Amino acid sequence: MNKLIVFGDSNSLPFFGNEIETEKYRQYKGGTLPKGWMEILSEKMNLNLVNHSKMGLCNSNIFQIICDKIRYVQPNDVVIIGWTFKMRYQVVSVYDGGFCSFSNVLPSFLPEHTSLSPETMSEFLVHKNHDFWVNEVYSYEKIITHLSEIVGFKVYFWSFDEEIGKSYKNNTNMNYYLGKENLLEYYHSDSYKKLNTQIQDEWDFVLFGFWRHLEQLGMKQICDETNGEVNDGHIDELGHIILADLFYYQITKKNGLRV
């Protein structure tokens, strides 16, 4: 059986935050965590799921993992890569005994054991948030899509970063991209209607980013779904269901793949 291979950050993982909040959500859901979008999608597509995503990654770190794992991708496998927010980046951390590792810098996390000051790391976060950094991601995509054509696997990209997603429309081959494209068509589809949810407010297809569109389709953050009982800003159960259904719709209906 072929595989669905997923790369990304925590948005490409099933429900897993810190241990305490994860257990709270498990109890809120009656003792069992719901399935993530990648688990639902793999079942819809009848593919074995292989998930290489990790929490808190930056895009260069995601690309490094792809480089490490790409040799195991086979013809007719499906690869979905969820890029994270462009402002994230890596620094070198040096520990006792000379051990070194890469640490990811996030607005919510400034790593220790590095020669850079917190002020410097914070300033570079602002610098990395410049729109021009989307070109870093597009450079990664060029080599990945070229390799997919050589090996014969299907590859698709998506992102919650508004500028990365917004700029996809400037690319010539939209067959590689999931997310905002075809959303209005998906909203009117039988597939979405079967979810028995409804649009939340007035639809603004031009101005809203992908995250906001999913909110319109019914997605919430876990903290909102649980009325603050669980302190987690990731997407809720319905959000994972919608994301899986949307990706399935886009892959099968818009990108020529029949499963």
Q: Which domains does the chain have, with CATH numbers?
A: 3-86+129-180 (3.40.50.1110)
pLDDT in tens, 177-212: 888 767 777 877 888 888 866 655 555 554 457 888
Per-residue DSSP letters for 15-38? S--SHHHHHHHHHHTTSSPPPPHH
The structure's pTM equals 0.90
Q: What stretches in the chain show pLDDT beneath 50? A: 172, 206-207, 259
From CA 119, how far away is CA 125, in angstroms rounded?
Answer: 10
> Do residues 76 and 30 lie in contact, with contact meaning Cβ atoms separated by under 8 Å?
no
What tokens were used for 207?
Answer: 């101005």
Res 259: pLDDT: 44
- Cα–Cα distance measured from residue 206 to residue 213, given in angstroms and rounded to the nearest whole number: 10
Report residue 138 as tokens.
């597009």
Q: Look at residue 98 in the predicted model and tell me its pLDDT.
A: 77
Question: In angstroms, what CA-CA distances link 137 with 87, 141, 158?
Answer: 12, 6, 11
Give yes or no for a contact between 100 and 111, defined as CB atoms under 8 angstroms apart: no
